[in-house]
Structure 1
Amino acid sequence: MLDREGFRPNVGIILLNQKNQVFWGKRIRTHSWQFPQGGIDRGESPEQAMYRELHEEVGLQPEHVRIVARTRDWLRYEVPDRFIRRDARGHYRGQKQIWYLLQLIAHDWNLNLRATSRPEFDAWRWNDYWVPLDVVVE
């Protein structure tokens, strides 16, 4: 689902533990690490999508977290043409995201990367916030 400008609506999740370290998940069968994130389905609010993605990707339920903050407006980024599939060029420009900052209020043993039949991560770790900042794609 793209908006009129060619951006796919998406939510991103930064999950903090009690030491204010951030959750970092390793994409299944790759060496890529990232925050949980995913598209917003038609008819779904950003908050509903965030909770769905939180469960699908890391197995947490709403009662396991507290929303600390979220971006007020959409953050947009354009994907360079070389990364866009040929059949999508001309109408897909990138993603627009609402980011959520969540505090884990349960034990991290509640994390479950196999909560669904289609896992997206095969490993996870807690990092100080600067680790992802050093490796993020600009």
Structure 2
Amino acid sequence: MIDPDGYRPNVGIILLRDDGRVFWARRAFKDGWQFPQGGMRSDETPLEAMYRELHEETGLRPHHVQVLGATPGWLRYRLPPRMVRRNQKPMCIGQKQVWFLLRFVGEESAVRLDATDEPEFDQWRWVDFWYPASHVVAFKRDVYQRALRHLAPIATSYSHATLDDALAVAGQMTESAFAAAEQMAESARAMAEGMADLAERLGLAKAG
């Protein structure tokens, strides 16, 4: 599916881990690394296409992720002239993309690059949020920078919320630990006093 201007509708996926790092994968049998992405079918919404591409390229299902946000419109990039198939009708000159920011809520064992017969990727890892903006292939860098800039406030606010939750839990655990320690100390003091009282009574009994 190609629009009248020669752009293929496409979705891009930024998969965010709770520590703020993002999913980064190497294209199969190639040196290039990128985010998961793929073309939309004519009968799909961007959200439907995103879930399909997510599974095809990473093996993940909707229950493994939480949608945090998306770019409000299309972000476009043009293909280098050497990649344009000029004998193709209609001719595709580039991609127009909606980018989704997803929180990864599954186990890493759920990631499967061989979910289809023709895997898109053969390696993956977690990288710093801004790392892809300067390490993706050159003709995609502007779109990556724009997508990351737009979604960064959402990722940052989410990471802060996650950190606040973690600190709150840690605070509760610390308070519980202190309370338990105080209770143990009080029990130890009571036991020591009881033993001293018993020793005193035994001493008195022997003396009598």
TM-score, length-normalised on structure 1? 0.93
Residue 89 of structure 1 deviates from its aligned partner by: 8.5
Q: How does 1:54-65 map to 2 (within 5 A)?
A: 54-65=54-65
Find the residue that maps to 1:18 and give its secondary structure: coil
Cα-to-partner distance string for 1:63-119 (whole Å, 9 max, x where unaligned): 000001101111112223233123149832211100000000111111111112111
**What is the identity, as a one-letter code, of the residue corresponding to 1:69?**
G
Structure 1: distance between partners of 2:58 and 2:78: 27
Distance in 2 of aligned mates of 1:105 and 1:90: 40
Partner of 2:17: 17
Q: Which residue of 2 aligns with 1:50?
A: 50
1:28 matched to which residue of 2?
28
Count of aligned positions: 138
Could you say what the CA RMSD is over the residues aligned between the two structures, in angstroms? 1.5
How far apart in 1 are the matches of 2:29 and 2:79? 23
Task: Give the Cα separation in 2 of the matches to 1:11 and 1:17.
Answer: 20
**Which gives a bigger RCO, structure 1 or 2 (Cα 8 Å, sep 6+)?**
1
Amino acid at match of 2:114: R
Task: Measure the CA separation in 1 of the matches of 2:80 and 2:123.
Answer: 28
- Runs of 5+ in structure 2 lacking a partner? 142-208
- Native 8 Å contact 1:59 1:111 kept in 2: yes
Gaps of 5+ in 1: none
Runs ≥4 residues deviating over 3 A:
88-91
Q: Structure 1, residues 34-68: CA drift from partner, whole Å, max 9, x if none?
A: 00000001111110000000000000000000001
Whether the 8 Å CA contact 1:81–1:89 is kept in 2: the answer is no
Identity of aligned residues (%): 50
**1:86/1:4 Cα in 2 relative to 1: closer, same or farther (>3 Å)?**
closer
